[in-house]
A and B are shown apart, each in its own frame.
Chain A
Amino acid sequence: MRPAGKAPLDSLYFNYPRFPARHVPELDGAGVQHQVVIVGAGPIGMTAALVLARYGVRCVLIDRKDTFNDGSRAICIARPSMHILERAGAVAPFVKKALGWRFGRSYYRGREIFRLEMPHPPGEKYLPMYNLQQQYIEQFLHDAVCGCELIDMRWQSEFSGLDVRSDGVSLTVSSPAGDYRLESAYVLAADGARSPIRSALGLRLKGENYEGKYVIADIRMDHDFPTERRAFFEPSGNPGGTVLIHKQPDNIWRVDYQLREGESEQEALREDNIRARVTAILADIGHDKPWELEWWSIYSANTLCLDDYRHGRVFFIGDAAHIVPIFGVRGLNNGLADADNIGWKLGLVLNGEAGEELLDSYSPERRGATLDVFANATKSTRFMTPPTRGWRLAREAALSLSLDHEFPRELANPRQMQPYTYSQSPLSPYAHRDAEFSSGPSTGGASPNAKLPDGTHLLDQAGGGMTAILFCDGPPRTEARVMLDRLESLDTRFVSVLIGSEGTKTPQSHAVADRHGEIARLFGAQPGTLYLLRPDLHIAGRWKSIVADEIIRTARICLGKQTP
């Protein structure tokens, strides 16, 4: 919602472009067979289109609106998402505009009780978190989409029905230029929390709703405080409700505040009430200068998802598949991981580089990650909006003890950087090899990064297919060379990174010096250790020393050339 007298897109800082409906070939009766149609040009749909384009796959991207999101919703972009945006070719404007951060503070009755410090190992390329308004996220992605001739972007084009067959999907689309049918091999439903595709297929999200309600308001003010997440429990500015404050670019601040139990939602959303509450909250943080109201909305926590993220040739990505509580900043980030996951798989399948079976792993992997997020988010949500007297009392006890004791303070941790791992993935059949390692990242986890002497990073070397990181103490031995050759013949995009080898560089093989053994330490590796990365930079498997048959089999499974 926006202040009285302002139109829905009348923003203090963002000029909304308006995109016309285009006259498309289908309107002239052209029977075009598309490979992929993506419904919904939000951050998730646009990212999926860019990931597909990276694999040379064309898509049609439709959206019923004529511009970006009205108001900012998602504002936190986590490190793994920055890697996704980087590989999608869109990260540069994000780095330039977004506000990176890694610290937070939690207060109880005005006193600081917890200092959040998100891990930031020295080898990482990106900070743990970046704040950026959703409109900018969409604008930057849209700029990349416009620069990509493989993406056929169609605004003001509303999905109005579909027919899913075993050999393809027909969609009906309504636009001001006329109604038409779209024929596609696959459909990605990125059409948001109220997904019309989900409804059309009679599918329902299942899970929990939480009672506590939060107002989220964006304001503009000149306020001197670093980019940190601030959480206020029992603040005098909002008695009986928690407050969260985040900084965004352009002097915009996000103020989230919890409504008191039994408070009327309708009353709370009135502009005068919003202004009064925000003024009180700002007075509490020492801001008594003027401020301007940009936009507000209301929110209650849910942990909801589909039983299966795939319905034949339709894949659900982002909010269409799952709704997660805001407190873990997982809505956008989880959705971007969906887009990346289905993007590389579908990209390889449609290029004939991977078998169609690979697509079967999308739902177990991403739904598994969602359930993982739910477990953490449920803990955060119970802390942020205690559902019963028992939870309220336990929180009050923990918070009040935190004033004088260290031990309960961690309970106020918002758990924002629990990285997801595909630990139970069908693509990782040799996860038990983890037992051979005493350190380093586990199978299914995201690969750590390392800074190289020339200023680039280890993961910059990774390719669009499988990547092997092999630790050496000289040129690779015959056994290793034979195996790398086999991987190369299996996967045209295969890249090997030889750590500690003085071997020569070829397009498929990069030698990286590790003079002080820092990279080997990071991976818990010894000479002969091999990590096999998937295209999304998650670890498909790791071996203390080469077990060629297991490595080849893992690669074959990741490429859909073999059943798990």
Chain B
Amino acid sequence: MSTMPFEDLESAYETLALAIDTAGAQREALFLARLVLLLGHEVGDITRFRNAIEAALAGLEQSDLGVTAHPVLQSAEVATSTIR
């Protein structure tokens, strides 16, 4: 699997954040779904695509938008209580 140099990853991170804001709360989900299909097509490998989907889903259990917005509260205990 290829990895990005850190500077590029940071740039990707910033681009994503700005794009989510550009899409707006109403279209955020559609935007992300489109992004995933486009990137999946670029990757061209269903195993890597599935692995990425699984990793993203698995990570959801340790994270929540409400928690990550407040870094101070990022303890496992609090995170567990915010799972829907």
A residues within 8 Å of B by Cβ? 393-394, 396-398, 400-401, 405, 407-408
List the 8 closest pairs (A to B, CB-CB), nearest first: A397-B33, A397-B34, A407-B41, A393-B33, A397-B37, A401-B34, A393-B29, A396-B30
- 17 contacts across the A-B interface (CB closer than 8 A): A393-B30, A393-B33, A394-B33, A394-B37, A396-B30, A396-B33, A397-B30, A397-B33, A397-B36, A397-B37, A398-B37, A400-B30, A401-B34, A401-B38, A405-B38, A407-B41, A408-B37
Question: Taking the nearest CB of chain A, how far is it from the CB of B39, in angstroms?
Answer: 12
Question: Taking the nearest CB of chain B, how far is it from the CB of A6, in angstroms?
Answer: 45
19 additional A-B pairs beyond A397-B37, A400-B30, A407-B41, beta carbons within 8 Å, are A393-B29, A393-B30, A393-B33, A394-B37, A396-B30, A396-B33, A397-B30, A397-B33, A397-B34, A397-B36, A398-B37, A400-B34, A401-B34, A401-B37, A401-B38, A405-B38, A405-B41, A408-B37, A408-B41
Instruction: Provide the B3-22 mask, 1 if CB < 8 A to any CB of A, else 0.
Output: 00000000000000000000
Closest to B36 in A: A397
B residues within 8 Å of A by Cβ? 29-30, 33-34, 36-38, 41
Docked pose: A394 CA to B37 CA in angstroms: 9
Question: Taking the nearest CB of chain A, how far is it from the CB of B37, in angstroms?
Answer: 5
Question: Taking the nearest CB of chain A, how far is it from the CB of B50, in angstroms?
Answer: 15
Q: For residue A408, which residues in chain B have a CB less than 8 angstroms away from its CB? A: 37, 41
Q: For residue B30, which residues in chain A have a CB less than 8 angstroms away from its CB? A: 393, 396-397, 400
The B interface, classified by DSSP as helix, strand, loop or mixed, is helix
Closest to B31 in A: A397
Q: For residue A393, which residues in chain B have a CB less than 8 angstroms away from its CB? A: 29-30, 33
Q: For residue A400, which residues in chain B have a CB less than 8 angstroms away from its CB? A: 30, 34
Docked pose: A396 CA to B33 CA in angstroms: 9
Docked pose: A394 CA to B36 CA in angstroms: 10
Closest to B42 in A: A407
Docked pose: A64 CA to B34 CA in angstroms: 53
The A interface, classified by DSSP as helix, strand, loop or mixed, is helix
Q: For residue B34, which residues in chain A have a CB less than 8 angstroms away from its CB? A: 397, 400-401
Closest to A394 in B: B33
Q: For residue A397, which residues in chain B have a CB less than 8 angstroms away from its CB? A: 30, 33-34, 36-37
Closest to A390 in B: B33
Q: For residue A398, which residues in chain B have a CB less than 8 angstroms away from its CB? A: 37
Docked pose: A405 CA to B29 CA in angstroms: 19
Closest to B35 in A: A397
Docked pose: A393 CA to B30 CA in angstroms: 6
Docked pose: A405 CA to B35 CA in angstroms: 13
Q: For residue A394, which residues in chain B have a CB less than 8 angstroms away from its CB? A: 33, 37
Q: For residue A396, which residues in chain B have a CB less than 8 angstroms away from its CB? A: 30, 33
Q: For residue A405, which residues in chain B have a CB less than 8 angstroms away from its CB? A: 38, 41
Q: For residue B38, which residues in chain A have a CB less than 8 angstroms away from its CB? A: 401, 405
Closest to B29 in A: A393
Question: Taking the nearest CB of chain B, how far is it from the CB of A405, in angstroms?
Answer: 8
Question: Taking the nearest CB of chain B, how far is it from the CB of A208, in angstroms?
Answer: 24
Docked pose: A401 CA to B34 CA in angstroms: 7
Docked pose: A202 CA to B41 CA in angstroms: 49
Question: Taking the nearest CB of chain B, how far is it from the CB of A388, in angstroms?
Answer: 13
Question: Taking the nearest CB of chain A, how far is it from the CB of B82, in angstroms?
Answer: 21
Closest to B40 in A: A407
Docked pose: A455 CA to B38 CA in angstroms: 49
Q: For residue B36, which residues in chain A have a CB less than 8 angstroms away from its CB? A: 397
Docked pose: A396 CA to B41 CA in angstroms: 16
Docked pose: A401 CA to B38 CA in angstroms: 8
Docked pose: A405 CA to B38 CA in angstroms: 9
Question: Taking the nearest CB of chain A, how far is it from the CB of B15, in angstroms?
Answer: 19
Docked pose: A400 CA to B30 CA in angstroms: 9
Closest to B34 in A: A397
Docked pose: A401 CA to B30 CA in angstroms: 10
Question: Taking the nearest CB of chain A, how far is it from the CB of B7, in angstroms?
Answer: 29
Docked pose: A408 CA to B40 CA in angstroms: 11
Question: Taking the nearest CB of chain A, how far is it from the CB of B8, in angstroms?
Answer: 24
Docked pose: A394 CA to B33 CA in angstroms: 6
Docked pose: A401 CA to B36 CA in angstroms: 11
Question: Taking the nearest CB of chain B, how far is it from the CB of A34, in angstroms?
Answer: 55
Docked pose: A407 CA to B29 CA in angstroms: 20
Docked pose: A187 CA to B28 CA in angstroms: 59
Q: For residue A407, which residues in chain B have a CB less than 8 angstroms away from its CB? A: 41
Docked pose: A156 CA to B37 CA in angstroms: 56
Docked pose: A398 CA to B34 CA in angstroms: 7
Closest to A393 in B: B33
B36, B37, B38, B41: which has the most chain A beta carbons within 10 Å? B37
Q: For residue A401, which residues in chain B have a CB less than 8 angstroms away from its CB? A: 34, 37-38
Docked pose: A407 CA to B38 CA in angstroms: 9
Q: For residue B33, which residues in chain A have a CB less than 8 angstroms away from its CB? A: 393-394, 396-397
Docked pose: A561 CA to B41 CA in angstroms: 52
Q: For residue B29, which residues in chain A have a CB less than 8 angstroms away from its CB? A: 393
Docked pose: A502 CA to B30 CA in angstroms: 65
Docked pose: A394 CA to B38 CA in angstroms: 12
Question: Taking the nearest CB of chain B, how far is it from the CB of A267, in angstroms?
Answer: 29
Docked pose: A400 CA to B41 CA in angstroms: 15
Docked pose: A519 CA to B36 CA in angstroms: 45
Docked pose: A401 CA to B33 CA in angstroms: 10
Question: Taking the nearest CB of chain A, how far is it from the CB of B25, in angstroms?
Answer: 15
Closest to B33 in A: A397
Question: Taking the nearest CB of chain A, how far is it from the CB of B12, in angstroms?
Answer: 20
Closest to A407 in B: B41
Question: Taking the nearest CB of chain A, how far is it from the CB of B48, in angstroms?
Answer: 17
Closest to B38 in A: A401
Docked pose: A408 CA to B36 CA in angstroms: 12
Docked pose: A483 CA to B38 CA in angstroms: 57
B29, B34, B36, B41: which has the most chain A beta carbons within 10 Å? B34
Question: Taking the nearest CB of chain B, how far is it from the CB of A107, in angstroms?
Answer: 19
Question: Taking the nearest CB of chain B, how far is it from the CB of A397, in angstroms?
Answer: 4
